[in-house]
Chains A and B, each alone.
Chain A
Amino acid sequence: MFQKIAGSKSNFFAALLFSFVFGVFAAGFINFGNRFFWPFFLISFILTALFLTEKIKRKQLFLGCVLFFFFGLWRFVLSQPSQSPKNLIYYIGRQAQVAGEIISEPVTRNGSQKIVLASQRIIIAGLAEQRSARGKLLILLEPHPAYFYGQKITVDCALEKPFQKTGERFSYADYLGKEGIWVVCLSPKILSVENGKSNIFVQGLIGFRNFLAGRLEEILQEPYAAFAGGLLYGARSNLPPDLTNAFNRTGLSHIVAVSGYNISVISAALLAFLNGIGFSRKRSFKISLFGIVFFVLFAGASSSVVRAGIMGVLVLWAKNSGRSGSAGRVLLFTAFLMLIFNPRLLLFDAGFQLSFLSTIGLIYFTPVLEKIFYFLPSRLGLKDALITTFSALLATYPLIIYQFGRLSLVAPVANLLILPFIPLAMALCFVSLFGAVIFLPLGQIFAYSAWFLLWYMIEVVNWLSGFEWSALELKISGWSFVLFYITIILFIFYLKRKFNEKNSF
Chain B
Amino acid sequence: MKKILFSLLIFTAFLIGGWWINSFRSFGPSAVLNKVNFLKSNKVNSANVNSPASALKVIFFDIGQGDSALILTPQGKKILVDGGPDDKVLSKLGKYLPLRDKKIDVMILTHPHADHLEGLISVLRRYEVGEVYYSGMIHTTAGFLEWLKLIKEKDISMKIIKKRETVEIGGVNLDFLYPDRDLSLGAVSSAAGTAGGNGATDISDSEQESKYKSNGNLNNTSVVFKLSFGRTSFLFMGDAEKEVEEILLKKCGDNINDNIKEEALNKVKTENGDCFLKADVLKAGHHGSHTSSGEEFLRAVKPKQAIISVGKDNDYGHPHLRVLRRLERLGIKILRTDEIGDIEMMSDGMIIK
Chain A positions near chain B (C-beta within 8 angstroms): 110-111, 142-145, 217-218, 220-224, 238, 240-243, 277-278, 428, 431, 444-453, 455
Contact = CB atoms under 8 A, between A and B. Distances in A.
B29 interface: no
B18 A452 contact: yes
A223 B87 CA distance: 10
Contacts of A241: 88
Given A278-B3, A448-B19, A451-B22, A224 B94 contact: yes
Contacts of A238: 87
A455 B102 CA distance: 18
Contacts of B141: 142
B18 A110 contact: no
A452 B121 contact: no
A227 to B, nearest CB: 10
B142 A145 contact: yes
Contacts of B17: 449, 452
B21 A455 contact: yes
A142 B142 contact: yes
B93 A449 contact: no
A170 to B, nearest CB: 21
B152 interface: no
A449 B14 contact: yes
Interface in B83-101: 85-88, 90-91, 93-94, 97, 99-100
B118 to A, nearest CB: 7
B91 A222 contact: yes
Given A145-B142, A221-B94, A448 B15 contact: yes
A240 B17 CA distance: 26
A428 B90 contact: no
Given A110-B86, A221-B94, A240-B91, A448 B99 contact: yes
Nearest to A218: B102
Most buried by B among A223, A242, A449, A453: A449
Contacts of B75: none
25 contacts: A143-B118, A143-B142, A144-B121, A145-B146, A221-B91, A221-B94, A222-B87, A222-B90, A223-B94, A242-B88, A277-B3, A277-B6, A277-B7, A428-B11, A428-B14, A444-B99, A445-B15, A448-B14, A448-B16, A449-B11, A449-B14, A449-B15, A449-B18, A450-B18, A453-B14
A115 to B, nearest CB: 14
Contacts of B86: 110-111
Contacts of A217: 126
A451 B91 contact: no
B164 to A, nearest CB: 33
Contacts of B203: none
B293 to A, nearest CB: 27
A221 B97 contact: yes
Contacts of A220: 99
B142 A144 contact: yes
Of A278, A428, A452, A455, most B-chain CB atoms within 10 Å? A452
Secondary structure of the B contact surface, majority rule:
helix
A452 to B, nearest CB: 3
Given A144-B142, A144-B143, A452-B21, A240 B14 contact: no
A111 B91 contact: no
Contacts of B97: 221
Nearest to A243: B91
A277 B86 CA distance: 42
Contacts of A453: 14, 18
A222 B18 contact: no
A276 to B, nearest CB: 12
Nearest to B6: A277
B15 A446 contact: yes
A363 to B, nearest CB: 31
Given A143-B142, A221-B91, 7 more contacts: A142-B141, A221-B90, A221-B93, A240-B87, A428-B11, A449-B15, A453-B18
A444 B100 contact: yes
Contacts of A240: 87-88, 90-91
B94 A222 contact: yes
Contacts of A145: 142, 145-146
B94 A448 contact: no
A296 B17 CA distance: 32
A222 to B, nearest CB: 4
A298 B3 CA distance: 30
A449 B93 CA distance: 20
Nearest to A455: B21
B143 A142 contact: yes
B118 A431 contact: no
A446 to B, nearest CB: 7
B22 A448 contact: yes
Given A145-B146, A240-B87, A277-B3, A447 B14 contact: no
A450 B17 CA distance: 10
B11 A431 contact: yes
A450 B141 CA distance: 38
A465 to B, nearest CB: 14
